[in-house]
Chain A
Amino acid sequence: MTPLIEVENLTLQFRTDEGLITAVEDVSFTLMKGEVMGLVGESGSGKSVTAKSLMHLNARNAVYSPGSRITLHADTGPVDVLSLRTPRELNVVRGGAISMIFQEPMASFAPAITIGKQMVEQLLLHSDMSKGAAKSVSIEMLDRVGISDAARRFDQYAFELSGGMRQRAMIAMALSTNPTLLIADEPTTALDVTIQAQVIDLMKDLVSEFGMGIIFITHDLGVVAQTADRVNVMYLGRLVEEGPVREVIRNPRHPYTQGLIAALPKLEDLDAPLTPVPGDIPSPLERPSGCVFNTRCSQVVGEECMALVPTNCRLDETHSVACHIYREAAE
Chain B
Amino acid sequence: MSRSLIQASGLSVHFPIGSGLFVKQLLKAVDSVSIEIEKGSFFGLVGESGSGKTTLGRALLKAVPISAGTAHYDDGEVAYDLQELDGAELKDYRTRAQLIFQDPYAALSPRMTVRDIIAEPLEVMGLTKGRAETDERVREIAARCRLNLEHLRRFPHAFSGGQRQRISIARALVSGPKFVVADESVAALDVSIQADVLNLLKQLQDELGLTFMFISHDLSVVAHTCDHVAVMYLGRLIETAPTRMLFEAPRHPYTKALFSAIPSLDPDDDRTAQKLAGEIPSPTDQPPGCKFQTRCPHAIDICKSQEPALETEDGHDVACHRWKELMELVAA
B184, B188, B223, B262: the one contacting A270 at CB < 8 Å is B223
Collect the chain B residues with CB atoms within 8 Å of residue A195's CB.
48-49
Cross-chain contact B263 with A220 (CB below 8 angstroms)? yes
Residues of A participating in the B interface, judged by any CB pair closer than 8 Å = 16, 18, 40-44, 103-104, 106-107, 146-149, 152, 155, 160-165, 167-168, 186, 189-197, 200, 219-223, 225-226, 245-246, 249, 259-260, 263-267, 270, 272-277, 280-281, 283-285
Question: Are B261 and A44 in contact, CB atoms less than 8 angstroms apart?
Answer: no
Interface membership of chain B positions 211-236, coded 1 if the CB is closer than 8 angstroms to chain A and 0 otherwise: 00000011111011000000000000
Chain A CB within 8 A of B79 CB: no
Expressed in whole angstroms, the Cα–Cα distance for A162 and B195 within the complex equals: 26
CB of A141 to closest CB in B, whole Å: 15
Residue B268 CB within 8 A of the other chain: yes
* Given A162-B54, A274-B224, A43 contacting B190 (CB threshold 8 A): yes
Residues of A near B125 (CB, < 8 A) are none
Q: List 11 A-B contacts (CB under 8 A).
A: A152-B19, A152-B284, A163-B102, A189-B187, A190-B187, A191-B49, A197-B263, A225-B266, A260-B190, A272-B224, A285-B158
Residues on B with C-beta less than 8 A from A266 are: 220
Contacts across chains A and B counted by CB atoms under 8 Å: 178
A75, chain B: closest CB distance, angstroms: 31
Asked if B280 is an interface residue, CB under 8 A from chain A, the answer is: yes
**For residues 193 through 223 of chain B, which have their beta carbon under 8 Å from a beta carbon of chain A?**
193-196, 198-199, 217-221, 223
Are B267 and A226 closer than 8 Å at their CB atoms? yes
Which residues from 116 to 158 on chain B have a C-beta closer than 8 Å to any C-beta of chain A? 157-158
Residues facing A in B248-273 (CB within 8 A) are 257-258, 261-269, 273
Given known contacts A192-B217, A194-B257, A43 and B196 CB-to-CB distance under 8 angstroms: no
Contact of B280 among A107, A148, A189 (CB under 8 A): A148
A259 and B184 in contact, given A148-B280, A192-B49 (Cβ under 8 angstroms):
no
- Bound state CA distance, A152 and B267, in angstroms? 38
Q: A residues within 8 A CB of B157?
A: 16
Stretch at the interface among B67-75, B86-94, B160-168: B160-168
Contact A194–B224 (Cβ < 8 Å): no
Question: With A104-B103, A270-B247 in contact, is A164–B195 under 8 Å at CB?
Answer: no
CB of B17 within 8 A of chain A?
A: yes
B50 in contact with A165 (CB, 8 Å) = yes
Q: Which residue of chain B is the closest to A186 with respect to CB atoms?
A: B188
Asked if A43 and B282 make an inter-chain contact with CB atoms under 8 angstroms apart, the answer reads: no
Assess whether B188 is in contact with A189, with CB atoms less than 8 Å apart: yes
**How many of B's residues come within 8 Å of A, CB to CB?**
62
- Whether A222 contacts B273 by the Cβ 8 Å rule is no
Residue of B nearest to A283 (CB): B158
Q: A42-B190, A43-B190, A225-B263 are in contact. List 11 more A-B contacts (CB 8 A).
A: A44-B160, A148-B282, A192-B258, A194-B276, A196-B217, A259-B192, A263-B192, A263-B194, A270-B224, A270-B243, A276-B193
| Cross-chain contact B273 with A265 (CB below 8 angstroms) | no
Using A225-B263, A281-B162, A283-B158 as known contacts, say yes or no to A270 and B244 having CB atoms under 8 A apart: yes
Does the CB pair B47–A192 fall under 8 Å?
A: yes
Let me know if B108 is at the binding interface, CB within 8 A: no
For window 23-56 of B, CB contacts with A under 8 Å fall at 46-50, 54
Separation in Å of the A45 CB from the closest CB of chain B? 8
Known pairs A221-B265, A265-B224, A266-B220; A152 contacts B199 (CB<8 A): no
Of the residues B46, B160, B243, B280, contact of A281 by C-beta under 8 Å = B160
A165, closest chain B residue (CB): B50
- Is B223 in contact with A280, judged by CB distance below 8 angstroms? no
- In the complex, are the beta carbons of A164 and B49 less than 8 A apart? yes
**A227 CB, min distance to chain B CBs, angstroms:** 8
Nearest residue (CB) in B for A296 is: B192
Query: Most B CB atoms within 10 A — which of A147, A163, A193?
Result: A193
A147 nearest CB neighbor, chain B only: B280
Enumerate the 3 nearest inter-chain pairs by beta-carbon distance, A residue then B residue, closest first: A164-B49, A43-B161, A222-B263
Q: Would A221 and B191 be within 8 Å (CB), given that A152-B282, A270-B243 are in contact?
A: yes
* A222–B262 CB distance below 8 A: yes
* A-side contacts of B219, CB under 8 Å: 193, 267
Q: What A residues does B263 contact at CB under 8 A?
A: 193, 196-197, 200, 220, 222-223, 225-226
From B25, which residue of chain A is reached at the shortest CB distance? A152
A280 touches B163 (CB 8 A): yes
Minimum CB–CB distance for A298 against chain B, Å: 13
Closest to A197 in B: B273
Please tell me if the beta carbons of A43 and B188 are within 8 angstroms of each other in the complex: yes
| Contacting residues, chain A, for B266 (C-beta < 8 A) | 225, 249
- Return B280 CB to nearest CB of chain A, in Å: 4
Give CA–CA (A147, B159) in the complex, Å.
36
> Cβ of A265 and Cβ of B192 under 8 Å apart?
no
Are B189 and A162 closer than 8 Å at their CB atoms?
no
What is the bound-complex CA distance between A227 and B320, given in angstroms? Answer: 34
Are B280 and A42 in contact (CB-based, < 8 A)?
no
Residue contact B220 to A194, C-beta cutoff 8 Å: no
Question: Shortest Cβ distance from A217 into chain B, in angstroms?
Answer: 10
B163 surroundings in chain A (CB, below 8 A): 280
Find chain B residues with CB under 8 A from A245 CB.
267
List of B residues within 8 angstroms of A260 by Cβ: 190-192
Name the distance in Å between B293's Cβ and chain A's nearest Cβ: 14
